[in-house]
Amino acid sequence: MEFSTSGTFGHLVHKNWQNIKGVACSHKDFPTNNSILLLHDRHWNNKNSIFTELINELKCKVFFKTLHNLPTGLSTIKYSK
């Protein structure tokens, strides 16, 4: 599930996601269990209020945790169910 600011990515068709003006998403509903959320750093630069509103909305509805940095020498992470 990918999030960005509106107008950044054409494939994020759900604009003003969950009535948060300026947020676009790849899905119209909230994430489900085991969803991976993509929020690219550079798209949120100087957009602190929108980003904070998005994170607060997600915190109210979804349990999520931050991924840690990759260990030295690894270039990818494989997730399993």
- Residue 30 near residue 63, CB atoms below 8 Å: no
- CA-CA-CA-CA dihedral for 26, 81, 68, 49, to nearest 10: 30
Q: How far apart are CA 64 and CA 51, in angstroms?
A: 15
The answer to pTM > 0.85 is no
List, for residues 45-76, the tens digit of each pLDDT value: 889 999 999 999 998 888 777 666 777 777 77
Report the alpha-carbon distance of residue 69 to residue 66 in Å, rounded: 10
Higher pLDDT, 22 or 69: 22
Neighbouring CB atoms inside 10 A of 23's CB total 24
